Amino acid sequence: MAGVKMVVALLLVVYVSWVGAQTHHVVGGDRGWAKSSEVRDWLSDKVFRVGDKIWFIYSAAQEGVAELRSKEEFDSCDVSNPIKMYTDGLDSVPLDGEGIRYFTSSKTESCKDGLKLHVDVQPTSEIGIVATSETFAETLAEGPSAPSAAAHISALSPLFLMGLLICYFGP
């Protein structure tokens, strides 16, 4: 099961790196949301912007994710009154406004062991995102008459996500 989870995480990383205007962040990288992923180290070089998404990948039987209201709840690992609980094992959270958001393990013990994440969402930076997507599309295009890579990716996105979910939750 751990091998399938790693493949799913890697496929998700590849998929989200190709999506257009948004940046998708898989929390913890290829290890996902787990005590062993060193979430603080993973967080150190990340910039989160309005419109981005963060993805939590974890074993739903062992963990969950709680979004908390305040720094006090975050610091004390008080998960008794969360804004929202994520329990599916593959959860996408849109970052739709500026400000700090707090996520912890739904298990107090795991939270106290460091499985928690505060996300400081910055305003959108349209210029850098557009330049990056255009450069990527130009690199993959075979010529001036070839459709952009973004067109192919957006058409395949629902199929890719469905396959990803089948791999993750399948037999």
Strand partners, 92: 55
Domain membership of residue 134 (yes or no) is no
- Please give the single-letter amino acid code of residue 29: G
Domain membership of residue 54 (yes or no) is yes
Domain membership of residue 144 (yes or no) is no
Domain membership of residue 141 (yes or no) is no
* 164's tokens: 């990803």
Which residues, 6 or more positions from 80, have their beta carbon under 8 angstroms from its beta carbon? none
Supply the pLDDT for residue 20.
45
Supply the pLDDT for residue 35.
82
Supply the pLDDT for residue 147.
37
Domain membership of residue 97 (yes or no) is yes
pLDDT in 10s for each residue of the chain, 171 residues: 556 665 565 555 555 444 445 789 999 988 899 888 888 889 988 999 999 999 999 998 888 999 999 999 999 999 999 999 999 999 999 999 999 999 999 999 999 999 999 999 999 865 444 333 333 334 334 444 333 333 333 334 554 555 555 655 565
CATH at residue 73: 2.60.40.420
pTM of the model: 0.63
Supply the pLDDT for residue 69.
96
Supply the pLDDT for residue 145.
38
Supply the pLDDT for residue 21.
55
Domain membership of residue 140 (yes or no) is no
Backbone φ and ψ for 85, nearest 5 degrees, come out as -110, 135
How many domains are contained in the chain?
Answer: 1
Domain range for 60 is 2-126+152-169
Supply the pLDDT for residue 149.
35
